[in-house]
Amino acid sequence: MTTTRYTQDHEWLRIEADGLVTVGITDFAQSQLGDLVFIQLPEVGANLGKGDEAAVIESVKTAGEINMPVAGNVVEVNAVLADEPGTVNEDPQGEGWFFRAKVEDVAAINALMDEAAYKAYIADLG
C-alpha cells in the first residue's frame, strides 16, 4: 500500500514500499501549466531542505519550479523527462514522476495534505 500526500504548490509525494518517496506534480498543476516543453531535474545526491527548489519546469504558458515537499536526499531522477517532458502531461501521478528521495524526517510527511484535503483545497481555488 502506498500513501500519497500533497502540497499547496501542487506537488505530490508518494511513500513507496521501499521507504523512499517519489515526487511529482498533480494533474491539476499540469493542466494549469499546459504542455510541458522542458524539465530540469535535480542532481542525484542533492540534499534538499523542505521548500528548496528541486526542479525547474517550462511549459508553453510559463516557467516555474518544483519545490521539495520535505527534506531529503535525491537518489533517482526520471531520466525519460529530459527527452519527453510531455510525459508529465500524459500521466502526472504515474510515469511523469520527477524524482525519488530518501526522506530525513518521515513524520514531516504527515504534515502534508491527504487526498481528501487536497481535493477540497483545489475545489476552493475555483
Tell me the pLDDT tens digit for each residue of 43-84: 999 999 999 999 999 999 999 999 999 999 999 999 999 999
Rounded Cα gap, residues 45 and 113, in angstroms: 27
User: What pLDDT does 125 receive?
Assistant: 86
For the whole prediction, is pTM greater than 0.85? Answer: yes
User: What pLDDT does 48 receive?
Assistant: 97
Q: Where are the alpha helices (DSSP H) in the chain?
A: 27-33, 80-83, 87-90, 115-124
Provide the percentage of residues in the chain whose pLDDT is more than 90: 91
Cell reading at 32: 494549469
CATH topology for the 3-113 domain: OB fold (Dihydrolipoamide Acetyltransferase, E2P) (2.40.50)
Handedness of CA 34, 7, 9, 70 (dihedral sign): negative
